């Protein structure tokens, strides 16, 4: 698995600052949301509790409430300003709750969630065992996990343009689909299914892409990023390198999107331990009366 570390405080700052501008730039996020909603068709039961992890401004949470009108829908995000912005998507007819929380520490009881939904959030979590372990903890047996995240080819043009200017990491790194699948299986999630799609957005100039990334809050949060201001010379070199990639008068930006779903495991199903062994857990109640007399 690729080694990288995300600065969670920087992620929170980035998205907090972008709360007011996010929906001016979220065309891709809306398209991916539509694709992700197709995964929900696999869940045939009537859910009681649905959570939207990394809810942002709440568009996805509102769609979940529209789909599951009788369920308790909870929008969760680590950036409080995003949750404040989400209020205008929660109508009095179809309200949803808003809770400030991180994906690796959900303030919910064990096995209390029927559907765990997350649209383009998990790429900001670098601890996959903790992330998917928390998903397993809160999901009911047979509950559905459906999420999307960015893959490693995302913003490959911008990454290459910066690489021609200096050797500092200017673009966040994202994990491969196979790393995600392995982590899901290791956590004990059942029957994971993952797919990859690639979207190419085009811009009149590289600066418009950078403006969009800033407006989304999707700027570099890698712990190894350069902390100081980028020099003007390197910045101009990056722009010049990006200009050489023009096609039909526009500069492209690739977004690799991984969409996945899996199921909460039954009680006692084993999961892979850090040492490669298998770990199974049972409640005390399930063991009572099992001793021979």
* pLDDT tens digits, 12-28: 999 999 999 999 999 99
Average pLDDT in the chain:
89
Instruction: Indicate the fold that domain 8-153+173-199+256-269 takes in CATH.
Output: Rossmann fold (3.40.50)
Contact 229/171 with Cβ under 8 angstroms? no
pLDDT at 7 (0 to 100): 83
User: What ranges do the domains of the chain cover?
Assistant: 8-153+173-199+256-269
**Alpha-carbon span 246 to 244, nearest angstrom:** 6
* pLDDT, position 226: 61
3-state DSSP call for residue 133?
helix
pLDDT of amino acid 92: 78
- Residue tagged 């009537």 (tokens): 46
Return the percentage of the chain with pLDDT > 70, whole number: 87
Judge whether residue 193 has pLDDT over 60.
yes
Residue written as token pair 């992330």 = 131
Q: Tell me the pLDDT tens digit for each residue of 21-75.
A: 999 999 999 999 999 999 999 999 999 999 999 999 999 999 999 999 999 999 9
What is the average per-residue pLDDT within 181-189?
97
Per-residue pLDDT of 210-267, as tens digits, reads 999 999 998 877 766 565 556 688 899 999 999 999 999 999 999 999 999 999 999 8
Neighbours of 28 (CB within 10 A): 17
Mean of the pLDDT values across residues 98-105? 97
For 214, the enclosing helix (H) or strand (E) is helix 206-216
């Amino acid at each position: 698995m690729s080694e990288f570390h995300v600065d969670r405080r920087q992620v929170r700052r980035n998205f907090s600052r972008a709360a007011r501008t996010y929906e001016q730039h979220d065309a891709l996020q809306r398209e991916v949301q539509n694709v992700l909603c197709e995964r929900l068709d696999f869940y045939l039961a009537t859910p009681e509790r649905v959570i939207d992890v990394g809810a942002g401004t709440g568009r996805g949470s509102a769609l979940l409430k529209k789909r599951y009108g009788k369920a308790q829908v909870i929008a969760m995000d680590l950036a409080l300003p995003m949750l404040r912005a989400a209020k205008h998507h929660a109508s009095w007819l179809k309200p949803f709750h808003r809770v400030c929380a991180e994906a690796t520490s959900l303030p919910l009881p064990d096995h209390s969630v029927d559907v765990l939904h997350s649209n383009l959030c998990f790429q900001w979590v670098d601890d996959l065992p903790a992330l998917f372990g928390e998903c397993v903890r809160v999901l009911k047996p047979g509950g559905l996990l459906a999420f999307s995240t960015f893959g490693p080819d995302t913003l490959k043009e911008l990454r290459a343009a910066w690489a021609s200017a200096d050797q500092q990491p200017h673009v966040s790194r994202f994990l491969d689909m196979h790393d995600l699948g392995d982590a899901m299986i290791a956590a004990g999630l059942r029957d994971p299914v993952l797919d990859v799609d690639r979207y190419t957005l085009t811009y009149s100039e590289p600066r418009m892409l950078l403006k969009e990334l800033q407006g989304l809050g999707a700027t570099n949060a890698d712990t190894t990023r350069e902390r100081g201001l980028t020099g003007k010379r390197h910045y101009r070199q990056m722009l010049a390198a990006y200009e050489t990639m023009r096609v039909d008068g526009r500069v492209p930006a690739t977004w690799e999107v991984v969409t996945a779903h899996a199921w909460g495991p039954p009680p006692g199903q084993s999961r892979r331990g850090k040492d490669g062994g298998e770990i199974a857990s049972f409640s005390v109640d399930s063991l009572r009366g099992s001793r021979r007399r």
